[in-house]
Amino acid sequence: MNNKDIAEIRKHFKMDTDLLKIADIYNVYIKQESSEIYHEESRSFSLLDREQQELFLANFKKVLGGKLDVKLFEVKFQRQGEGQTDHTQHLLFEGLHADDVGEWKAGMQRIALKMVQYSQYEKDIVITFIRGNYYKTTKRHPDETEIDARDEVYTTPFILSSMNQTELPKRSLVFDFVEKEFKSSLLADPVIKLATPIGGFLFPSFTDNAADINHVLYAASKANKPDFQFIENVLNGNEIMTAEEDKAVFEEIVKAVIGDEVNSKTLAGVYDEINNMLLVEKEGEDEVGSTPTLDSIEVARVLKASGVKDVSTEKVEMAFQQVVEDKNYEMKASHVVPSYASKSIKISTKVANIAISPQDLRYVKQINYNGKRCLLIEVEEDTMIEGFKLLPEELLE
């Protein structure tokens, strides 16, 4: 599943669309520090009043917000053990295809209980499950600019879950128009924080028009902060790596190969080589293919192309083994290269903080002048400071 697939389904969580239909909704209320269900209710989504539907749809959209491998993670299910009846992949698959709503509800209830039995929450939470169908239309001819009415439709049944905390409304002063007097508010009903879900998932994962029942899309509450215990114990998923962790691994591997010190030209070359891999992928994004990855062979190629001397695949494999204890480990290329669409590289010094884009990194150098370390930035135009043009000084000749 890629960011394009996620964005495509996410935009259809709205009212009055015929490309995404929600059939059933099941809500569970769990009190704080409890492992039991306090209240539950299941009904057809269409029976909710319009305002409730809008609130839930906005919540589901929030669950699918964020970048892949930063806040959203495609998790592969563990193999189901012999005699294991509560494996989440099995419960989701059975619930997805259950004709009886009661069977679907029973499966989701078991998953909800797994959520609260592995960890007790500090606040009351509401767990919501929905079941529906996502319809993706395709054009009959590549040159068509509009989709013909249901000419060809791919149907993907799905289950989505969201987890939301509750909070009691703050006491406030209100004006009673009936009694014509000021009084303190007496609201005691907890408010469900649908705008800030603390987790959730979408099953199955899918790429373009193909569903993948061996993966589930997990949503973390914060960027680069997945709940690994939730992934293992609730989703029965395999271990994942965040984009942040992948980037750290890449940096350690490169340091193990070439050392801690590098000039800006070499570093810019490394980033350019990896970015070129992503550009090639983007140009062929309509074709079915895998995300560009960096294994030991690719890392060795990138370093050689960037001008690094004495690099071999064997040396890089040893670095992989040293850092991650797996010479066959692969990192997603998109995880390790800074964004070329912004000034994503930050240089922090005691004097100033500088932000530059990766393609401009080659214009920044560290030099020694009169025994002092200095940053030299090559510029093509005059430098303006508070409306004044900076006077050039020929100090480095």
Residue pair 77/238 in contact by the 8 Å Cβ criterion: yes
Instruction: Please give the structure tokens belonging to residue 78.
Output: 């563990």
Greatest Cα-to-Cα distance within the chain, rounded to the nearest angstrom: 86
Task: Of 26-30, 153-157, 331-335, give the lowest mean pLDDT range.
Answer: 153-157
DSSP code at position 204: S
Instruction: Please give the structure tokens belonging to residue 120.
Output: 């007790």
HSE at residue 295, side-chain half, CA atoms within 13 A, is 7
Looking at the chain, list the stretches that DSSP marks H as alpha helix, in order from N- to C-terminal side.
Answer: 3-10, 50-63, 88-96, 101-117, 228-229, 243-258, 264-283, 296-305, 313-324, 333-336
Q: Please list the residues that pair with 201 across neighbouring strands.
A: 161, 218
Higher-confidence position of 45 and 1? 45
Letter for the amino acid at 257? Answer: V
Task: Of 193-197, 282-286, 390-394, give the lowest mean pLDDT range.
Answer: 282-286
Task: Kindly report the average pLDDT of the chain as a whole number.
Answer: 90
Residue pair 333/340 in contact by the 8 Å Cβ criterion: no
Gap between the Cα atoms of 317 and 158, Å rounded? 41
Look-up of token digits 């935009």: 11
Band of pLDDT at residue 287, cut at 50, 70 and 90: low
Tell me what percent of the residues of the chain surpass a pLDDT of 90.
68
HSE at residue 303, side-chain half, CA atoms within 13 A, is 25
Instruction: Please give the structure tokens belonging to residue 113.
Output: 């209980």
Q: pLDDT (tens digit, 9 = 90+) per residue, 75-127?
A: 999 998 888 889 999 999 999 999 999 999 999 999 999 998 888 888 999 99
Residue pair 2/112 in contact by the 8 Å Cβ criterion: no
pTM greater than 0.75 (yes/no): yes
Q: pLDDT (tens digit, 9 = 90+) per residue, 162-216?
A: 999 999 888 788 888 988 888 877 767 889 999 999 999 999 998 767 899 999 9
Residue pair 164/193 in contact by the 8 Å Cβ criterion: yes
Q: pLDDT (tens digit, 9 = 90+) per residue, 341-380?
A: 999 999 998 998 999 999 999 999 999 988 889 999 998 8
Q: Give how far Cα 135 sits from Cα of 65, 155, 213, 246, 286, Å.
A: 20, 5, 17, 34, 19
Region 242-265: what's the mean pLDDT?
A: 94
Count of CB atoms within 10 A of residue 63's CB? 25
Gap between the Cα atoms of 38 and 35, Å rounded? 9
Gap between the Cα atoms of 296 and 176, Å rounded? 71
Query: What pLDDT was estimated at residue 144?
Result: 42
Tell me what percent of the residues of the chain surpass a pLDDT of 70.
93
Query: What pLDDT was estimated at residue 148?
Result: 57
Task: Of 168-172, 271-275, 343-347, 382-386, give the lowest mean pLDDT range.
Answer: 168-172
Count of CB atoms within 10 A of residue 366's CB? 12
Query: What pLDDT was estimated at residue 76?
Result: 96
Nearest of 23, 184, 48, 168 to residue 108 by alpha carbon: 23
Helix (H), strand (E) counts: the chain: 10, 20
Gap between the Cα atoms of 313 and 319, Å rounded? 10
Q: pLDDT (tens digit, 9 = 90+) per residue, 118-173?
A: 888 889 999 999 999 998 877 544 444 444 555 578 889 999 999 999 998 887 88
Query: What pLDDT was estimated at residue 85?
Result: 87
Query: What pLDDT was estimated at residue 285?
Result: 56
The C-alpha torsion from 6 through 87 and 229 to 196, rounded to 10°, is 40
Band of pLDDT at residue 289, cut at 50, 70 and 90: low
Gap between the Cα atoms of 348 and 201, Å rounded? 38
